[in-house]
Amino acid sequence: MFADRMKALEAETPFEALAKAKALEKQGKKIIHLEIGEPDFDTPKNIKDAAARALRAGYTHYTPSAGMLEVRQAIAEYISKTRKLDVEAEEVVVTPGAKPVMFFSVLALVNPGEEVMYPNPGFPVYESVIKFVGAKPVPIPLREKNEFSFDPEYVKEKITKKTKMIILNSPENPTGGVISREQLNVLADCLENRDDVFVLSDEIYSRIIYEGSSGSIAQLPGMKDKTIILDGFSKTYAMTGWRLGYGVMRKDLAGKMAQLMTNSNSCTNAFVQLAGIEALRGPQTEMEKMVAEFKRRREVIVGGLNRIKGVTCKKPHGAFYAFPNITGTGMDSRSLGDYLLQNAGVAVLPGISFGQYGEGYLRLSFANSVENINKALARIETSLEMR
Ligand SMILES: Cc1ncc(COP(=O)(O)O)c(C=O)c1O
C-alpha cells in the first residue's frame, strides 16, 4: 500500500524512547527524562509577549513562502554579525523549525545515486533523508580519541566524483564535539576545485558552546556560495514547540527552497516569525543564563558519570548532551538503555540510534535540573551494581 520511498524514512528514536518511558509512567513508575533534546527552560517572556502582540495586531495570515522580509532581514543581520559574513535578506529562507532546511537542501540538490557524507554518530534525520532521495549515505566516523570532532583527512579520502553534499554539525548532537577552525580549513581547501559539492552546516547549537568556538565554514574563502547554514530558535531560545528555523544560502538555491516551502507548508506561521525578530534583537540575558546553567550541569553530569564503574565520559564542548563510553559495563548500548529504563527509572538514548559508530555509548541530555541529574546518576550507579 505505501510508496517504496517510505521504507527509507526512519522514525526518530528520541520520540520512540519517550513513548516507552511514558508507557512506564502510566503504570505508576517515576522516570527521570534524560532522553529528549530540548531545553527544559521556558521561552523568554519578551519573545512570548512579541508573539502575543503580533497575534493581536492581526498577523494571522499567509506570508511569502521564504518568510516576511523584515524577518529575513533580522536573520541576515544576525548571521552577518555572529558569523562575520555579509548576508542579505534574499539569502535567507524561514522555515517551520530548522529540520525542513535539512530535508529541503537534500531534495533541492541531491540526485539518486549521488553520495552524501554525514557525521556518525549524528542526528538520525541526516541518514534518513539521504536514503529517502535514493542517494548513498557515506558516514564520517566521529571518534572519541579525536574528541568526537571529525577527521578532515578521512573526508578527503572518501570524497568521490559522486559526492554532492557534506553535512557538518558543530557543536554536535549527540557527542558535543566541536569542529576546529583548522579542520574546517582542511575541508575548505579540499573543496577548492569542487563547485559541485555543497556543505550543509548544521549550526543549530552554535550559541550553546562552552569552549573552542570555530565559526562557520561559510566564512572561509570560496565557501559561502557552497554552504547552507542551518540554524534556528528551538535550542537557543528554548522554542522547540514554536517551530521556527531558517537556512542561509546563495540566492538561486534560496529560490528553490522557497518553492519547496510553497509546495509543502506555504509559509511559516506569521506571528511566530515576528516573535523571531524579538528573539534576535531583544535582550539576550535569559539565553545567556540558560547556557551558563547548562555549563554548570555539564560539570555535574560528567563528574558523576566518571565515578560510575564501567563508564567514562569526556566533557562535551557544546550542546547539552553527555556521551559516555559504556563499553566497560559489558553491555551494548540498546540493552543498557533498556536496563536503565526498567531498573533505574532513567530514560536515556542508546548510542547506536545515532548510527553504527555510536555503539558503545549512551546519550544523556542535561536539559534537566541538577537535582534530577544527581538523582539519575545515583539510580544508574545503584542499578549497575545490582546486576
Ligand atoms: C543537530 C540538530 N539539527 C537540527 C535539529 C532540529 O531543530 P528544529 O527543532 O528547529 O527543527 C535538531 C533537533 O534536535 C538537532 O539536534
Q: For residue range 38-92, what is the model confidence (pLDDT) as tens digits?
A: 999 999 999 999 999 999 999 999 999 999 999 999 999 999 999 999 999 999 9
Query: Residue 325, class by beta-carbon neighbours within 10 Å (0-12 exposed, 13-18 middle, 19+ buried)?
Result: middle
Task: Report the pLDDT value the prediction gives residue 11, as an integer from 0 to 100.
Answer: 67
Question: What does the block give as the cell for 75?
Answer: 536573520
Q: What is the pLDDT of residue 193?
A: 93
Confidence label for 151 from pLDDT (cuts 50, 70 and 90): confident
- pLDDT interval class at 363 (50, 70, 90): very high
Q: How far is the CA of 66 from the centre of ligand 1 (A)?
A: 19
Cell 552546516 -> residue: 201
* pLDDT at residue 128 in the model: 95
pLDDT at 16: 78
Task: Give the mean pLDDT of 133-148.
Answer: 95
Measured in whole angstroms, the distance separating CA 84 from the mean position of its chain's CA atoms is 22
Q: Is the pLDDT of residue 150 over 70?
A: yes
Q: Tell me, what's the pLDDT at 221?
A: 94
Question: How far is ligand 1, taken at its centre, from the CA of residue 175, in Å?
Answer: 14
The region of weakest confidence among 145-149, 292-296, 380-384 is 145-149
Packed helices 45-56 and 270-281: angle between N→C axes, nearest 10 degrees: 140
Q: What is the pLDDT of residue 309?
A: 96
- Residues in contact with ligand 1 by the CB-under-6-Å rule are 37, 97-99, 123, 169, 173, 202, 204, 232, 234, 240, 245
Q: How far is the CA of 38 from the centre of ligand 1 (A)?
A: 9
Contact 31, 21 (CB under 8 A): yes
pLDDT digits (tens, 9 = 90+) for 302-315: 999 999 999 999 99
The C-alpha angle 174, 177, 179, rounded to 5 degrees, equals: 135
Single-letter amino acid code for the residue at 173: N
- Tell me the pLDDT of the chain averaged across its residues: 96
96 pLDDT above the threshold of 80: yes
How close is the Cα of 98 to the center of ligand 1, in Å? Answer: 6
Residue to mutate, 120, 172, 234, ligand 1, most ligand atoms under 8 Å from C-beta: 234
Burial class (CB in 10 A: 0-12, 13-18, 19+), 5: exposed
Q: How confident is the model at residue 254 (pLDDT cuts 50, 70, 90)?
A: very high
Instruction: Tell me if 120 sits within 8 A of 141, measured CB to CB.
Output: yes
pLDDT, residue 12, reads 61
Q: What is the pLDDT of residues 323-356, one digit of tens each?
A: 999 999 999 999 999 999 999 999 999 999 999 9
Question: Atom 14, ligand 1: which residue's CA is nearest?
Answer: 37
CA distance linking residue 258 with residue 102, whole number of Å: 14
pLDDT digits (tens, 9 = 90+) for 153-212: 899 999 999 999 999 999 999 999 999 999 999 999 999 999 999 999 999 999 999 998
Per-residue model confidence (pLDDT) at position 212:
81
Q: Which of 331, 354, 327, 353 is nearest to 342 (CA)?
A: 331
Contacts of 243 (CB under 8 A, 6+ apart): 96, 97, 268, 269, 272
**Which of 104, 118, 173 has the most ligand 1 atoms within 8 A of CB, as the residue to mutate?**
173
Whole-prediction pTM value? 0.97
Span from the CA of 173 to the centroid of ligand 1 (angstroms): 9
CA 214/CA 176 separation, integer angstroms: 13
Protein residue with least CA distance to atom 16, ligand 1: 173
Can you give the pLDDT at residue 13?
67
What band does 275 get if pLDDT is binned at 50, 70 and 90? very high
What confidence score (pLDDT) does residue 214 get?
Answer: 73
